[in-house]
Amino acid sequence: IHMAEGAFDILSAYFFVAPMGTNAAFVAIGGKAYENAVKFLITQYGFAGFILHIYADADVDDRMFAKIKNMLAPFNIPVFIHRNRMPSEKDFGVSMDKIQEQKYKL
């Protein structure tokens, strides 16, 4: 599962960051309710055994994602955070030349 706040963020992740042909769900959550979105995908669609990739905006602290990691830990679901470290850019909702990706596992 690839998840980002907005539509342009997740489109950039799909077209510019994720490997082409990735067999995955790409989700724009429309805000900062990452934990609720993960719970929704699990309870409503039965997602299990996935790898979670979060394309985070600069204004979201990793503590929010640590809660998600702890929630998913009993199911051995890895959580990866992707951040755009390009100076003066706060998220992934930009063209490819404005993305300098940093990826790390929580």
pLDDT at 23: 85
pLDDT in tens, the chain (106 residues): 999 999 999 999 999 888 877 789 999 999 889 999 999 999 999 999 999 999 999 888 889 899 999 999 999 999 999 999 999 888 888 989 999 999 999 9
Q: What is the pLDDT of residue 20?
A: 78
Pairing of strands 26-28, 52-56: unpaired
Contact 11, 34 (CB under 8 A): no
- Enter the pTM of the model: 0.92
- Identify the pLDDT of residue 22: 78
79 Cβ contact partners less than 8 Å away, ≥ 6 residues apart? 52, 54, 65, 68, 69, 72, 105, 106
Q: Nearest to residue 31, comparing CAs of 57, 13, 52?
A: 57
Q: What does the pLDDT read at residue 88?
A: 87
Residue-level pLDDT at 52: 96
